[in-house]
Amino acid sequence: MLLVGIVGSLTGMLTETSKTALQALLFVARSQSEHPCSPATIAENLGASASYMAKINTLLVKADILKTFRGVHGGVKLSRPLEAVTLLEIVEACQGKVLGDYCAEHPRLDEVCAYHKAMSQLQSAIVETLESWTLADLVAKPGPTAAAISDCRMRCAGG
């Protein structure tokens, strides 16, 4: 295990829960309704089960990314502006802290092995990248080209 969240290889850094959470947040962010989005509507749009969506919503509410509303028009809304929600927060809400798995914890990198240094740099790069991207950045980016639509895991073409 190199880092929490890396599932087998560097191409699988995000768990299905993190990916689905991100898709759900993009759906909520693009929603034009003044009413909260119902978890059932989000789940249906993403092709996820309502119970799985409820689990994800709970994680995002605990992380203060979503807030819930009860009643006839109940559901979820973003708890903060798009610019204030980073990918790091979303990933850590769903997967836990991005932590290194080193030889041993050591305060001085100049005294550790090369593997430890490499993993420390990898962790720093991952955290820095995830911190630099916000939901606003993802919503503002255009969807994929027509040729790449079928390969888009975030279903960006719908927004």
Q: Is the pLDDT of residue 23 over 50?
A: yes
Residue 12 scores a pLDDT above 70: no
SS3 call for 102:
coil
Is the residue at 63 inside a domain?
Answer: yes
Alpha helices (H) along the chain = 16-30, 39-46, 50-62, 87-95, 114-132, 135-140
Kindly give, in sequence order, each residue whose CB lies less than 8 Å from that of residue 144, ignoring residues fewer than 6 positions away.
Answer: 151, 152, 156, 157
Determine, yes or no, domain membership for 4: no
pTM of whole model > 0.85? no
2 within some domain? no
CATH code for the domain of 47: 1.10.10.10
Q: Total domain count for the chain?
A: 1
pLDDT digits (tens, 9 = 90+) for 69-102: 998 888 999 999 999 999 999 999 999 988 766 6
Residues 23-46 have a mean pLDDT of 90
Q: Is residue 1 in a domain? A: no
Residue 18 lies in a domain: yes
Q: Which domain holds residue 69?
A: 10-158
